[in-house]
A = this chain, B = another copy of it.
Amino acid sequence: MSRKIANPAKQADGKDYLAHIAYDSVVFGFSGDKLKILLMEYRNTGLFALPGGFVGRKMNLDDAVRAGLEERTGLSGIYMEQFHTFGDCNRQDASVLKKIMKANGIEAEKDHWLLDRFISVAYYALINYKAVKLQPDALSDSCDWYPVDALPQLILDHGKIVEKALQALRWNTDDRIIGMKLLPEKFTMKELQQVYENILGEQLERANFQRKMIASGLLTRHAAQFTGKAHKAPYLYSFAEKKTSVF
């Protein structure tokens, strides 16, 4: 709920946004052999939340989410998938919101539109970690990466949302090229394997993984990378084209 509200004046009433509808995004990146996600920390509260926002009255849902993601990451053409809509009544918690608003000097009248009930459409995005320039929003003082296996406590049902995003991501492994979006243009076989291991949550046989990936025809091999490490230099690979996946 670290909501993107570019112009805080608009926030005073919610007239520019569709009432009751929000989105949250789980942004995955890969670095240091770990799968990570983006979290916002609210100013003066110690509260962590997923980046999210509202949907302009004249805006397609997808476009609203994409715009929010692009603004926060500085990237364009982001790969994203909608995975679930959270609509329980009890996902609201006025006390948390009031705390955030108070810490930001926003008057929290009892019938403030932000305190009303919201249904949240959740998306996950896969981005190239290295390419991102993070940009916190008006209410947050930080926007940073956290490994999915060591997240801080999140507000509201955001923990559940992350859980479901991971599930959805694992699912899509069957049908989509995940590595392509999470890794830079060129990468080693080891990095690719680590991405899959992180997502699937299990160890894979190195030799067999390599065999399958090569056999899939998805990869193009480039010149070897000289790492300066005490062993054979690994080849670099890149994705060639979109085909059905291997798993």
Q: What residues make up the interface of A, taking CB atoms closer than 8 Å to B?
A: 18-21, 55, 57-62, 82, 84-89, 117, 119, 121, 171, 174-175
Contact = CB atoms under 8 A, between A and B. Distances in A.
A86 B61 CA distance: 8
A86 B119 CA distance: 13
- Tell me what chain A mostly uses at the interface: helix, strand, loop, or mixed: mixed
A57 B88 contact: no
Contacts of A21: 20-21, 119
5 contacts: A19-B19, A55-B119, A59-B89, A60-B89, A82-B84
Nearest to A60: B88
Contacts of A20: 18-21
Contact of A89 (B19, B58, B84, B121): B58
A87 B57 contact: no
Nearest to A59: B89
Contacts of A57: 117
Nearest to A61: B87
Contacts of A175: 171
Given A20-B19, A21-B20, A21-B21, A88 B61 contact: yes
Nearest to A172: B171
Contacts of A89: 58-60
Nearest to A87: B61
A3 to B, nearest CB: 17
